[in-house]
Structure 1
Amino acid sequence: MTKHTYDLGLIGNCAFLALIRKDTSVAWLCWPRFDSSFVFGSLLDRNKGGDFSILPAAGPFDSHQYYQENTNVLCTEITTADGQYRVTDFAPRFPQYERYYKPLMLVRKLEPLAGAPRIRVECEPVGDYGRQPLNRRRSSNHIAFLGGDEEIRLTTNIPLTYILDSEDFALNETKYLVLTYGAPLEAPLESTAEQFLRATVEYWRKWVKSTSIGSFYQKQVVRSALALKIHQYEDTGAIIAASTTSLPEAPGSTRNWDYRFCWMRDTYYILTAFNNIGHFEEMERYFHYIADISTKVRDKYQPLYSISGSSDLIEQELDHLEGYLGNQPVRIGNDAYTHIQNDVYGQVLVALMPLYVDQRFVDPDRPNPEKLVYEALRLIRHTMDMPDAGLWEFRNIAQYHCYTYLFHWAGSHAAQRVARYLGNGDMAAEAAALVEEASRRIELCLDQQRGVYTNAIGSHHLDASTLQLILMGYLDPDSELARTHLVALEKELKTPEGLFYRYRHPDDFGTPETTFLICSFWYVEALACVGRLDEAIAEFEKLIRYTNHLGLLSEDVDAKTGSQWGNFPQAYSHVGLVNAAYRIAKKLDKPSFV
């Protein structure tokens, strides 16, 4: 089997994301929100997904795709028999009027580099996930696409006839294409596009300079940080798991999910990543998104919410779309919002604790901490005897998961810290009792004979999520139990290539075929924690080979072929890389007095 990679580049501005193929075509772009219908979705259907491409008129061509250094500005160079040209794609983002300017605008700069290559520009956006063709209206210097909720407009200095009639032409001077949703570009085209490009490059480079990133594989960490940044929907602060839907975990697996939502289970790891790179602004926005949700929770937290905080994420299958490489079903929405995942209460407490104990946060309007913490502790107590779907969201399996009890433990610890900060003895006592009870439940997952914690009480199966017992400090990393636990997980879940399966026992859809990349990064962190630093570095170096040509990571990797699968780019995988690199760098920087 040949190696499969996503030959796609990611651009975005914290208002929208787009994926660009190496042939310059826009494979994925959803407007006006991350979770809206695509206007370009050929990633899921070549015929119904629309088209926005700048291709050679004829003959074979070579492609070279790269980012302008330390930015989310993407360049694609195409070389043909009659010349060479470059397409620079970006989503404008820069400070303006004491805010960030981040319009629903895709800018494409088209430059001849050699010769006079003949090219053809196609622009055919669609609506309602490809079910709604849009009507074209020619104007003086733009084409309007009508029929959707708002006007999509292409403003360009390329003769409109060439685009409307799909005619090729010789590229002998720089051209610009600006595609907008809603508010159009009404300023001068060429000078505005160049100004936006300069300002956007400057913004990203300043952002990178403001990160706290050590020298350990700095280039890879910077790219992961840049990718993670644009998965935040800045309007609300939510961070989505991935920009796509229905890219399969393995071919033919039917494990095709919509990941354009904000998972509560990811909160702790995402905030840790932003803290590790010293980015306060993103942390604060995400904190307030979580805090806003927490104020409207009554009976339980959902495992995930929309980027607006909406609760209903009704799952649907789009039978009219062929799916990625023919993989069906194509799903929008995610039924996991109905699942019981009881680790979310601890996740929320761990996530929100800094709002009350970190002196950098000064906000007189923040939610009442005592009410919020008491409510989360009540939910932990209420669910202590309740089986759940676990963090891997089993659809028809409920167990008493070790991972859930770990976050009951961690969340109650966080509540103790908040209680001490507030001087609330009653809250501290309640939290301490829950810490003790959660610890007792975790110990019921210990298989004494094997020296390993299983995935759930009464189960013999192992699960990579229990690596977190070491990473979160439940197990002393210097203890014999931490060592035997890690060795047992290695023996059962690690592949010869250093990749990690989430688990190897059957679930609702059979036995998982591909490895889950963040679990592999958790393994690297665990190696560093227990003092196996040389192995941690070696395993980290193996994992960064599983990026695509631009350093972007998928959700899953086929261990045998090294193929990328699952939704892409996967924010969770980039979080894993950032946190693993930070853990190693801290160990390497530790002073020695020997």
Structure 2
Amino acid sequence: MTAIPPSLTKHTYDMGLVGNCAFLGLIRKDTSVAWLCWPRFDSSFVFGSLLDSRKGGEYSVCPARGQAFESHQYYRENTNVLCTEITTAEGRYRVTDFAPRFSQYERYYKPLMFIRKLEPLDGTPRIRVVCQPVGDYGTRELHRRRSSNHIAFLGLEEEIRLTTNIPLTYVLDSDEFALNETKYLVLTYGAPLEAPLESTAEQFLRSTVDYWRKWIKSTSIGDFFQQQVIRSALALKIHQYEDTGAIIAATTTSLPEAPGSTRNWDYRYCWMRDTYYILTAFSNIGHFEEMERYFHYIANISTNISTNIKDKYQPLYGISGTSALVEQELDLEGYLGNKPVRIGNDAYTHIQNDVYGQVLVALLPLYVDQRFVDPERTAPEKLVYEALHLIEQTMDLPDAGLWEFRHIAQYHCYTYLFHWAGCHAARQVAFKLGNAEMEALATKLQLEAERRIEACLDAERGVYTNAIGSTHLDASTLQLILMGYLDPSSELAHTHLAALEKELMTPEGLFYRYRHPDDFGTPETTFLICSFWYVEALACVGRVDDAIREFEKLVGYTNHLGLLSEDVDARTGSQWGNFPQAYSHVGLMNAAFRIAKKLDKPNFI
């Protein structure tokens, strides 16, 4: 397969996302399941045609062979329930896809169960159902066993079972048949469906729709681009692996940042660098439960860290807190022929010293937010001291920085900013605990971090560079304004922002992370989170009209369902990078909140 040159066509990810905080799936507009990993977010795919058309298996509800068709895909309003309507010359039908999630017995019911409801809408459409899951990233074919009302797929640790009221012969042989009544397909991993098929599927659908709509009603989302914020909130929610509280960066692995770039990474892990922004997003919409789960995931990792410099925080962890995420390359076609296909991520071995400040900022609410009634369970003084000592020990050590350069180590401005912010958070904790010694240590380290941030200032240009001794600019230094290090009304904040605009912004209003070469050359695509940071910075410095204008542009880079990728090619508006990118949706939510506050919009509708 040949990669698409970015200059020739606009590329979008024409897929919808479903999930229930236990698993995620991507469904194309032709109803085929492009991506679904079981039993965890970071497990092998059981359907992975996204990365290999031959080895990726197949699960589709397509029109009869050779029939032309049109597709319309949409979400049930304010839910993660996805509908795909297919129109052919013979008729029209709808496939409703969802992962059950609702409250039951004082817990959330979120099984490894993927339900598809097939409804004829007009005429008598002829369809063909194919279900061929695979194991071990396409290297293991599963054995099929036919029973009276289901097909079992054997060969993995647990059974995959397809329970359906479609004649099994049609499914086993991939035969065409007329869809003249509603049919159901319930695919499970492990525990199968033992209840009545039709009534249970309908009950689960109603309960799941009700759950998502109640969840949205409980959010504090204002009326500034409300629909886009709702979709982003729904997407972010299901990127949380509820069993442990971890929130992954994206659903997928190895979707290239630009075609042919080889920047193909596995993003199905939890990055410490994202912590502050994710928690801010959930706080902005008033969702405490997700924050609390994520806090405890971070706190669990923190309890395993000592003040020994060899025992440091990693840039990222697995969804169970796993530290070793050894990178491997798989023998797969790759997305549109883009290789390599990687699982694991060697960034876990990198030195990324901003994580200590990230942890302190993230854990701050545990001690100052009155909704947390039992902060003692997280050993507050121990955790804060350990993070402060790690800041102290790494203050004069270079690192890979926010963007995880693989062979470049510098004294990054962004790292010192989070040293500064983390120490500020530690001072607040110390005050809350009445610990003068902790407050003194945090104050000393905050001043040291500030001196190093100022060493990044190019006074002649009125801009902070990406690292001490460097002339390069980096969009991460927008956070100097957003986190309150720079007074947004100051001349320096305005000149810093103007310099970043001049060097990193495209005519379309998109932002590059940086423009200097890295380990893989010069970046070809813009990074959406940086564009949203820019919008926030505009709002902070009082350029609210500019912020609104640029925000309006950015929401145009979603796919047909309002979902965002990691990167955008400014020349074509193409989506690239892993998808959907939780980080991009966090950026949208936080930028909308910042603008709404400036406009004095109400928090609640």
TM-score calculated relative to the size of structure 2:
0.97
Q: Deviations over 1:425-461 (max 9, x none)?
A: 0100110001110000000000000000000000000
Write the distance in 2 (CA, Å) between the matches of 1:142 and 1:300.
Answer: 50
1:46 and 2:53 correspond? yes
Quote the residue 2:419 is aligned against. 408
Instruction: Within 5 Å, give how 1:401-550 maps onto structure 2.
Output: 401-550=412-561
Out of 1, 13, 22, the position equivalent to 1:6 is: 13
Quote the residue 1:141 is aligned against. 149
Write the distance in 2 (CA, Å) between the matches of 1:368 and 1:115.
Answer: 65
1:113 and 2:128 correspond? no
How many angstroms does 1:351 deviate by? 0.1
Write the distance in 2 (CA, Å) between the matches of 1:117 and 1:194.
Answer: 22
Q: Deviations over 1:90-110 (max 9, x none)?
A: 000000000000000000000
Quote the residue 1:266 is aligned against. 274
Q: Structure 1 counterpart of 2:320, which letter?
A: S
Q: Structure 1 counterpart of 2:183, which letter?
A: K
Out of 202, 205, 212, the position equivalent to 2:213 is: 205
How many angstroms does 1:263 deviate by? 0.2
Structure 1 segments of 4 or more deviating over 4 A? none
Write the distance in 2 (CA, Å) between the matches of 1:277 and 1:349.
Answer: 22
Write the distance in 2 (CA, Å) between the matches of 1:392 and 1:364.
Answer: 32
Quote the residue 2:93 is aligned against. 85
Write the distance in 2 (CA, Å) between the matches of 1:434 and 1:316.
Answer: 39
Out of 312, 316, 341, the position equivalent to 1:304 is: 316
Q: Structure 2 counterpart of 1:312, which letter?
A: A
Instruction: Report the secondary structure of 1:177's partner residue.
Output: strand
Q: Structure 2 counterpart of 1:341, which letter?
A: Q
Quote the residue 1:189 is aligned against. 197
User: Is there any run of 5+ residues in structure 2 with no aligned partner, and where?
Assistant: 1-7
Q: Deviations over 1:138-160 (max 9, x none)?
A: 00000000011110000000000
Out of 27, 32, 36, the position equivalent to 1:29 is: 36
Quote the residue 1:164 is aligned against. 172
Contact 2:33-2:47 within 8 A present in 1 as well = yes
How many angstroms does 1:2 deviate by? 1.0
Q: Deviations over 1:27-58 (max 9, x none)?
A: 00000000000000000001100000000003
Write the distance in 2 (CA, Å) between the matches of 1:122 and 1:339.
Answer: 43
1:574 and 2:571 correspond? no
Instruction: Within 5 Å, give how 1:354-369 maps onto structure 2.
Output: 354-363=365-374, 366-369=377-380
Instruction: Report the secondary structure of 2:587's partner residue.
Output: helix
Out of 63, 66, 70, the position equivalent to 1:56 is: 63
Quote the residue 1:353 is aligned against. 364
1:282 and 2:290 correspond? yes
How many angstroms does 1:365 deviate by? 5.5
Give the direction of change, closer, same or farther, for the CA distance of 1:25–1:220 in structure 2 (3 Å limit).
same
1:177 and 2:185 correspond? yes
Instruction: Report the secondary structure of 1:317's partner residue.
Output: strand
Write the distance in 2 (CA, Å) between the matches of 1:202 and 1:513.
Answer: 43
Q: Deviations over 1:346-405 (max 9, x none)?
A: 000000010011111012662111111111000000000000000100000000000000
Instruction: Report the secondary structure of 2:17's partner residue.
Output: strand
Quote the residue 2:5 is aligned against. none
Instruction: Report the secondary structure of 2:303's partner residue.
Output: helix
Write the distance in 2 (CA, Å) between the matches of 1:376 and 1:478.
Answer: 32
Instruction: Within 5 Å, give how 1:224-373 maps onto structure 2.
Output: 224-298=232-306, 299-318=311-330, 320-363=331-374, 366-373=377-384
Write the distance in 2 (CA, Å) between the matches of 1:508 and 1:226.
Answer: 35
Contact 2:305-2:386 within 8 A present in 1 as well = no
Quote the residue 2:104 is aligned against. 96
User: Is there any run of 5+ residues in structure 1 with no aligned partner, and where?
Assistant: none
How many angstroms does 1:295 deviate by? 0.2
Instruction: Report the secondary structure of 1:366's partner residue.
Output: helix
How many angstroms does 1:246 deviate by? 0.1
Q: Structure 2 counterpart of 1:314, which letter?
A: V
Instruction: Report the secondary structure of 1:296's partner residue.
Output: coil
Write the distance in 2 (CA, Å) between the matches of 1:260 and 1:39.
Answer: 15
Root-mean-square deviation over aligned CA pairs? 0.7
Contact 2:317-2:323 within 8 A present in 1 as well = yes
Instruction: Report the secondary structure of 1:336's partner residue.
Output: helix
TM-score calculated relative to the size of structure 1:
0.99
Write the distance in 1 (CA, Å) between the matches of 2:546 and 2:431.
Answer: 39
Quote the residue 1:556 is aligned against. 567
Instruction: Report the secondary structure of 2:378's partner residue.
Output: coil
Write the distance in 2 (CA, Å) between the matches of 1:340 and 1:210.
Answer: 39
Q: Structure 2 counterpart of 1:542, which letter?
A: K
Write the distance in 2 (CA, Å) between the matches of 1:160 and 1:358.
Answer: 55
Write the distance in 1 (CA, Å) between the matches of 2:241 and 2:542.
Answer: 38
Out of 576, 580, 585, the position equivalent to 1:565 is: 576
Write the distance in 1 (CA, Å) between the matches of 2:86 and 2:174.
Answer: 19
Contact 2:367-2:375 within 8 A present in 1 as well = no
Instruction: Report the secondary structure of 1:536's partner residue.
Output: helix
Write the distance in 2 (CA, Å) between the matches of 1:353 and 1:375.
Answer: 14
Matched residue count: 590
Q: Structure 2 counterpart of 1:515, which letter?
A: T
Please, which moves more after superposition, 360-369 or 29-38?
A: 360-369
Write the distance in 2 (CA, Å) between the matches of 1:44 and 1:364.
Answer: 44
Instruction: Report the secondary structure of 2:85's partner residue.
Output: strand
Contact 2:252-2:267 within 8 A present in 1 as well = yes
Give the share of equivalent positions with the same residue, in percent.
84
Q: Structure 2 counterpart of 1:146, which letter?
A: L
